[in-house]
Amino acid sequence: KDFAGRTAFVTGGANGIGLGLARALLDEGCKVAIADIREDSLEAALKTLDNRNVMGVKLDVASREGYARTADEVEEQMGPVSLLFNNAGINLFQTIDESTYDDWDWVLGVNLHGVINGIQTFVPRMKERGLGGHIVNTASMASFLCGPAPGIYNCSKFAVRGMSESLRYSLAPQGIGVSVLCPGLVKSYIYASDSVRPENLANRGTPENQAFTDQLANVHQYGMEPDEVAAKVLDAIRANRFYIFSHPEFKEELQEVFDEIIAAFPPMGDLDDNAKQRLEFEKG
Ligand code: NAI
């Protein structure tokens, strides 16, 4: 795919992976809108990017109305968006059994509904224009691998992966590619997600564990550079590749998960006539 001259919309574009993506896209000659809930970060990002082809817009991706309004504003100023990066996300380290409705609403509101809003807003526009394009949804290795603590996060990222895969098949005939980005640890500010939690969803199941947050901040210094992740994303778009695994070290763990799944299947030799009919239908 050719990047030059295209307009890209990057959510959560003021920090971390999103900012890396914005930088890489600008280098390729794209016009880039970075949409983020944090005005201070937007201001700082625009300063570091220092490019006349970028605009910053304040957006809470969880807001349907806000999303559509922002899309109109961006397209009016920068032309039709044909590269969409549903990347904004937050994390909450807490088990599901200790979570409140506010915890669910916040994490799913941003990580899942934020992506849904991106798709609901931009896909009809992309289809109508018939110019093709590409959508990258940022999931995580947590869309495959679960732990006890990021329970709702796991749930949101599994959903993003599933949604992306279904969308991949439905949009292929329109020439719109879809990829799912599944990174491991990346240098970013996601450990400080609590700072963007809205007041109307403040009821946390467990108080923030400051010692753990400090530890996370510390470990993030060993994260992959966002620019390295972004380069891998652009390569994947060029090749129209669905899965984007940036971190090679997860391969064995993923293999163990799939081995467990395959080992849990009854043997194929047990197929009776009904099962054979079902198989024919399911394959068709
Ligand atoms: P980050 O915190 O550095 O950047 C995320 C950006 O999203 C921030 O600028 C933040 O202000 C913005 N944001 C948060 N809530 C928002 C909302 N409601 N509306 C609009 N913008 C909002 O974090 P990072 O790591 O760059 O996160 C980007 C994506 O990467 C997320 O979806 C995250 O789940 C995913 N990811 C990150 C990993 C990591 O180790 N950093 C690993 C795997 C996935």
Mapped onto helix, strand or coil, the DSSP state of residue 56 is strand
Instruction: Tell which atom from ligand 1 comes closest to the C-alpha of 109.
Output: 18
Q: Which residues of 25-39 are buried (b: 16+ CB within 10 A; e: fewer)?
A: bbebebbbbbbbbbe
- Cα–Cα distance measured from residue 134 to residue 14, given in angstroms and rounded to the nearest whole number: 21
Nearest-5° angle of CA 68, CA 109, CA 82? 40
Instruction: Tell which atom from ligand 1 comes closest to the C-alpha of 111.
Output: 32
Pocket of ligand 1 (CB under 6 A): 11-12, 14-18, 36-38, 41, 59-62, 87-90, 110, 138, 140, 183, 185-186, 188-190, 196, 223
- pLDDT for residue 267: 87
In this structure, the residue with its CA closest to atom 16 of ligand 1 is 37
In this structure, the residue with its CA closest to atom 6 of ligand 1 is 12
- Read off φ and ψ for residue 135, nearest 5 degrees: -120, 130
- pLDDT for residue 284: 75
Per-residue pLDDT of the chain (284 residues), as tens digits, is 689 999 999 999 999 999 999 999 999 999 999 999 999 999 999 999 999 999 999 999 999 999 999 999 999 999 999 999 999 999 999 999 999 999 999 999 999 999 999 999 999 999 999 999 999 999 999 999 999 989 999 999 999 999 999 999 999 999 999 999 999 999 999 999 999 999 999 999 999 889 999 999 999 999 999 999 999 999 999 999 999 999 999 999 999 999 999 999 998 888 899 998 998 998 87
- Cα–Cα distance measured from residue 231 to residue 110, given in angstroms and rounded to the nearest whole number: 25
- Residue of 192, 197, 249 whose CA lies nearest to 216: 192
Catalytic status, residue 153:
yes
Amino acid (one-letter) located at 90: I
Ligand 1 centroid to Cα of residue 272, in Å, is 49
- Residue of 123, 113, 111 whose CA lies nearest to 9: 123
Q: Which residues touch 273 (CB under 8 Å, ≥6 apart)?
A: none
Q: For residues 118 and 67, is the Cβ–Cβ distance under 8 A?
A: yes
Instruction: Tell which atom from ligand 1 comes closest to the C-alpha of 18.
Output: 26
Ligand 1 centroid to Cα of residue 79, in Å, is 25
Architecture of domain 7-249: 3-Layer(aba) Sandwich (3.40)
Q: For residues 232 and 189, is the Cβ–Cβ distance under 8 A?
A: no
- Residue of 231, 11, 227, 9 whose CA lies nearest to 112: 11
Out of 153, 169, 189, 222, pick the active-site residue: 153
User: Is the ipTM, as predicted for this complex, more than 0.90?
Assistant: yes
- Cα–Cα distance measured from residue 114 to residue 124, given in angstroms and rounded to the nearest whole number: 16
- pLDDT for residue 283: 85
Ligand 1 centroid to Cα of residue 36, in Å, is 10
- Residue of 10, 16, 272 whose CA lies nearest to 118: 10
Nearest-5° angle of CA 162, CA 228, CA 155? 25
Ligand 1 centroid to Cα of residue 189, in Å, is 7
Nearest-5° angle of CA 183, CA 257, CA 224? 15
In this structure, the residue with its CA closest to atom 31 of ligand 1 is 89
Ligand 1 centroid to Cα of residue 131, in Å, is 29
- Cα–Cα distance measured from residue 34 to residue 54, given in angstroms and rounded to the nearest whole number: 7
**Domain definitions of the chain by residue range:** 7-249
In this structure, the residue with its CA closest to atom 19 of ligand 1 is 60
Ligand 1, residues 39, 188, 197, 246: which to mutate, most atoms within 8 A of Cβ?
Answer: 188
In this structure, the residue with its CA closest to atom 12 of ligand 1 is 12
Q: For residues 181 and 246, is the Cβ–Cβ distance under 8 A?
A: yes
